[in-house]
Amino acid sequence: MYRDHKRLIRQCDEEKIVTFGVTTTPKAFERNAEMAIGFPFAIVGLGLHPQLVAERAGELPLFEKLLARTRYVGEIGLDAGPRFYASFQEQRRIFERILGACNEQGGKVLSIHSVRSVSKVLRELEANLQNRTCVPVLHWFTGTRSEAARAIELGCYFSINIEMLRTPKMHALLRTLPTDRLLTESDGPFVTHDERPIRPTDMPATVQRLAELRATESTLLGDQILENLRRLTIERPEPKPRPQLRLFKS
């Protein structure tokens, strides 16, 4: 949704910044994928955003048809905020179908939205994503520490943007997330940096601020985040038995 998306794709490739660009509807996927041809650092996800379910639920069959063409899925999930709560039951139906399709095909990396619905998202992951080769990435996670612990046991990663680091109530959680489950995200062009829409090229600033918060060296944290990314984009893990979940109260 950047106005200069073609330039942005070239910039990511020139500066060797691996960027997972999510789409909000299945109809947007093919054009975005076409623009990324020849630019290996730009990864295009197949998405059906929960905020658009009320008007785009009819695109679910197209989503299912296109799914075999990509390992990357996003943005998907649930949104129980007041603007979108009226479609929440339909969102759950769509999310369940998407997870089931990903589970059947395996090997997917999923960017997941969970506004006011973290516990419900985790419940859907547990019920519908038994294939341990699929990796959920919780985008802009705002859950509790007990919900984070449950997400970790389910194999989730957490993508962190600079806006999350500006929120003092998030700091305690961000200090405790496992280093080997951290990724960065821009959530651009909606998040700003230096009074302009943030870009993938701004990720060093996010790493620096996250390192300061976690009292570690930014180079060490950056290396670990790159290693986490490598595991998701290169390695194809074998299915693993689902661990026994502990019960948490949030």
pLDDT digits (tens, 9 = 90+) for 70-89: 999 999 999 999 999 999 99
Amino acid occupying residue 151 = A
Note whether 40 and 47 are within 8 A (CB): no
pLDDT (0 to 100) of residue 132 = 84
pLDDT (0 to 100) of residue 1 = 85
Residue 242 lies in a domain: no
Q: What sign does the dihedral 193-46-101-87 (CA atoms) show?
A: positive
| Per-residue pLDDT tens digits for 159-192 | 999 999 999 989 999 999 999 999 999 999 999 9
The mean pLDDT value for 215-237 works out to 89
How do strand 192-193 and strand 196-197 relate by DSSP bridges? antiparallel
Residue 74 lies in a domain: yes
pLDDT (0 to 100) of residue 51 = 98
Domain hosting 142: range is 5-232
Phi-psi region of 183 (alpha: psi -120 to 50; beta: other; left: phi over 0): beta
Residue 238 lies in a domain: no
Report how many domains make up the chain.
Answer: 1
Note whether 59 and 97 are within 8 A (CB): no
CA gyration radius, the chain: 17
Q: Is the overall model pTM greater than 0.85, yes or no? A: yes
Residue 248 lies in a domain: no
Phi-psi region of 178 (alpha: psi -120 to 50; beta: other; left: phi over 0): beta
Residue 239 lies in a domain: no
Residue 177 per-residue DSSP state: S
Note whether 81 and 45 are within 8 A (CB): no
Residue 246 lies in a domain: no
Q: What is the CATH number of the domain that holds 194?
A: 3.20.20.140
Note whether 119 and 77 are within 8 A (CB): no
Residue 247 lies in a domain: no
Burial (Cβ within 10 Å: 0-12, 13-18, ≥19) of residue 146: middle
Please state the separation of Cα 233 from the chain's center in Å: 13
Residue 219 lies in a domain: yes
Measured between alpha carbons, how far is 203 from 186 in angstroms, rounded to an integer? 7
Paired with 130 in beta bridges are: none
